[in-house]
Structure 1
């Protein structure tokens, strides 16, 4: 039996497919995002709301034994927190980590991405793997390794500076060098991740823009400032927001390398929260610390967005 070709009449008889309405598209969109929104509500929004309620109570180790021991104390946890000198020391240390760590990590990652994006660089896949490897390596293992590298007598870093006639430095035992020492480790550990983000966006910048800049007489630095930076503006904003949040949440690095010392010079807000919650079992106070930290990160993020919008990084 042979197929009969469709005539104009039979084609015309078929009903035309209607385009979906705006409401139908909205319903389809909500259907696709509903599983993610449910997961966010269950695993983020509800725990955050519960932690907020917890920060208004005196929940401690006695409440773990009997929930009837919990009392509503209102803002007393926040009042005690703001009256604790150690909290302000932790805030200062966290601010120093973010103030110096964010620019250093962004500069290192962006510089590495620009170099690896150059066509004259050989074995680029190998360099990418080498730079990214620290990020996927276990943090505790690398922190212990850096403790040996920074050792006053046996560390390779002190051995290197002694070769140029300088005295050894007690990197992790001196309050004036403990933060720079941890910063060196953190920047080395995380810059490979940001490097891959920058490298991906750099490869989307059209070569025509660089060619036009060269024709106009722009050198490498002018091309970088007038072509590269405007093209990667939104990505630069994203990386800066992620970096700020990461440095505000430093915990494992000072916990493994210095235990908050020497003289509380590396106690961060998250480290302080950990001690309040799991050393002294003041879980209500620890929840208050968490919300203060959240408000700090939110405030800095909003400032970053406002500055970036004013500079034209995004619309």
Structure 2
């Protein structure tokens, strides 16, 4: 290949006249179809993800009510969040409590079911689909409405308690001592997605390791702690990160069960629900944007901490 041909292909300054359009045509012939296929994603990313995100970042430094033009207020929204907003503290408390309770319980239950399935079961694909179904339906409005009826004062849960044990249960969703725990139970019920991932991870553990441990006299419990858990830590890490992010973003169950109020006494005031109230209840869109970016920072900090700490407890094949 001569220097002239290289210059022609690259469209350089030393290329002969007319070489640049020819190089552009050849480059388009090579890469044009790929860019055309990428075009829907590029439009979606810049128009529906990156663009709105940057717009919300700007609005977080303004006073904006969707009607008048944004009024620049600097860091006033963030200062108010940090110093003069008791509902922010209440929402943070409820959200962190929900995350701390729901994520470990969901992962533990999902791992328990996955280990039961891993022992071998007739009709396993059918059972796997049935147990996965709540993960598909759990975040829907219909399931949230059903959950509210189940845990109402005259709901099915109290009927069962009265019929079987003679216990007169409270209105679980109207009592601030219990309302959040009904949402935790709903989250744990949606264990299908991590269960499928755990089952795939369990299938990758060599059976000869268990056979060798059994020959050495290791009990089932010791095999679980010394073989299953260490080799499953990459899957546990993945599930923990994904489920924690989802828990921070939970919205529909709290909105439907509390009818958008976050009650009783802010006991189900999730962070996302409070953000929604500020944005579409009081039309404080600038303030809601600041709340949204604080949530982004919280999730990013948790994810970064998870990846930094992973080297101390996540064991890969190498």
TM-score range (shorter-chain normalised) is: 0.7 to 0.9
**Structure-2 separation of matches of 1:312 and 1:234:** 6
Whether the 8 Å contact between 1:90 and 1:267 is mirrored in structure 2 is yes
- Of 167-176 and 43-52, more deviation after overlay is shown by 43-52
Q: Structure 1 unaligned runs (5+)?
A: 1-27, 64-68
Alignment of 1:1-315 (within 5 A): 35=38, 38=42, 40-63=45-68, 69-82=69-82, 83-119=84-120, 121-137=121-137, 139-153=140-154, 155-162=155-162, 163-188=164-189, 190-259=190-259, 260-313=262-315
- Of 299-308 and 70-79, more deviation after overlay is shown by 299-308
User: Post-superposition shift, 1:123?
Assistant: 2.6
SS at 1:74 equivalent: coil
Q: Which residue of 1 aligns with 2:22?
A: none
**Structure-1 separation of matches of 2:179 and 2:119:** 36
User: Post-superposition shift, 1:50?
Assistant: 1.8
**Structure-1 separation of matches of 2:306 and 2:159:** 41
Report the count of equivalent residues: 278
Instruction: Call closer, same or farther: CA 1:62–1:193 in 2, change over 3 Å.
Output: same
Spell out, residue by residue over 1:191-224, the C-alpha distance to the aligned partner (whole angstroms, 9 max, x if none): 1011111111211111111111211212221111
User: Post-superposition shift, 1:303?
Assistant: 2.2
TM-score of the aligned structures, taking structure 1 as reference length: 0.82
**Structure-1 separation of matches of 2:240 and 2:228:** 16
User: Post-superposition shift, 1:61?
Assistant: 2.8
User: Post-superposition shift, 1:42?
Assistant: 4.6
Runs of 4+ in 1 over 3 A off after TM superposition: 34-43, 312-315
- Of 286-295 and 134-143, more deviation after overlay is shown by 134-143
User: Post-superposition shift, 1:45?
Assistant: 2.8
Q: Structure 2 unaligned runs (5+)?
A: 1-30
**Structure-1 separation of matches of 2:310 and 2:203:** 22
SS at 2:71 equivalent: coil
Whether the 8 Å contact between 1:237 and 1:313 is mirrored in structure 2 is no
